[in-house]
Amino acid sequence: MTRQELSNIRDLTFSQWIRNNLPDSSKGLMVSDLDFILQNYKTKVLMLLEIKTRNAELKTWQKSLFKKLSRWIKNGIDKDWNYLGFHIIKFENTFFNDGKCWLDNKVVSESELKDILSAFLE
């Protein structure tokens, strides 16, 4: 059974603490979150997902970071696991019901995305 999601309770306190207490980008520190890590422990597959809304794009430094992270995982993952890569889901607005959706720059419907992700992760 899938656990109930705890929604709309993201606490930004630690995010603010990072901004106030750690070196900033002028010192080389770049901080990003990653939206989803999908793992099927039975079939030993792993996929990273970043979600962008309101037609937003990854920042250049963020693209570079995620590309390196993906390469590091691919090169170091256990031999019996299959790393399915880093993927971007972008919404024209906020979700399927208020605009287009893209998976890695290809327009997809909600049902297509469900089928693609489900097939990858089985």
Domain ranges across the chain: 32-121
99 phi, psi to nearest 5 deg: 160, -170
Band (4; pLDDT cuts 50, 70, 90): low
Place of tokens 């306190």: 13
What rounded mean pLDDT belongs to the chain? 91
| Nearest to 121, CA basis, from 94, 81, 70, 84 | 84
pLDDT value of residue 60 = 96
Partner residues linked to 60 by β-bridges:
none
Burial of 90 (0-12, 13-18, 19+ CB in 10 A): buried
pLDDT value of residue 108 = 98
pLDDT value of residue 103 = 98
Are 108 and 119 in contact by the 8 Å Cβ rule? The answer is no
The pTM of the full predicted model, rounded to 2 decimals, is 0.84
pLDDT digits (tens, 9 = 90+) for 11-24: 788 889 998 999 98
pLDDT digits (tens, 9 = 90+) for 69-99: 999 999 999 999 999 999 999 999 999 999 9
